[in-house]
Structure 1
Amino acid sequence: MAAYVIVEADIFDAAIYDEYKKLTPATVEAHGGKFVLRGNPVEVLEGEWSHDRLVMLEFPDKKSAKEWYYSKEYQEAKEIRSKGSKAKFILIEQ
């Protein structure tokens, strides 16, 4: 069953966040994942949105998504990300 990681990010240092964006794709692919969307700005049709960026990843299953998130390689990228942004990550199964 497919699983999705949805990320809301608030970026306070674009240069650092750009470094993070360069590191992340290889970590995602190594765990069978792919980017469904990586974007900003988000156009609000209803309600409120106050984040800089929205990202959605698709993995074959919840186990693969968690293995990616907790992998050594992603944790190294995450450490860089935390120096340039604040984010919320959620995991949802289809």
Structure 2
Amino acid sequence: MKAYLVLDFAIHDLRGFMPYVAQIPAFIAKHGGKYVVQGTEPTVMEGDWAPQRMVILEFPSRQDAQAFLDDPEAQPLFAVRHATTDSKLVLVDGCD
């Protein structure tokens, strides 16, 4: 079953964030992932959720998504994202 990582984030240090933008796609691909939505500004249609930017990544399985998150070589990039953005991340299973 496919799995999705959904990231809602606001960048507060664009210059510092750019190494993440340049390097993280290789780690996504390494774990079989692909962008479904890449850093777009969403339009809120209902409710009081106010996301700034959205990224949605699709992985072949929950295990692949978790392996991406746990990849030791990607941890420094995740630290860059944490230091340069305010972000919220969820992992959800898709429908097959």
One fold, TM greater than 0.5? yes
Give structure 2 stretches of 5+ with no counterpart. none
In the alignment, the residues of structure 1 paired with residue 84 and residue 63 of structure 2 have an alpha-carbon distance, to the nearest angstrom, of: 28
Q: TM-score, normalised by structure 2?
A: 0.89
Between the aligned residues of both structures, percent identity stands at 32
- Which segment drifts farther, 20-29 or 10-19? 10-19
Letter in 2 for 1:26: A
Residues 1:50 and 2:50 are matched in the alignment? yes
- Which segment drifts farther, 73-82 or 43-52? 43-52
1:9-49 CA-partner distances (Å, limit 9, x unpaired): 12111111222111110000000110111123211222234
Corresponding residue pairs, total: 94
Give structure 1 stretches of 5+ with no counterpart. none
Does the aligned pair in 1 maintain the 2:33–2:58 contact within 8 Å? yes
TM-aligned CA deviation for residue 52 of structure 1: 2.2
Helix, strand or coil: the match of 2:38?
A: strand
Helix, strand or coil: the match of 1:47?
A: coil
RMSD over aligned Cα, in angstroms? 1.2
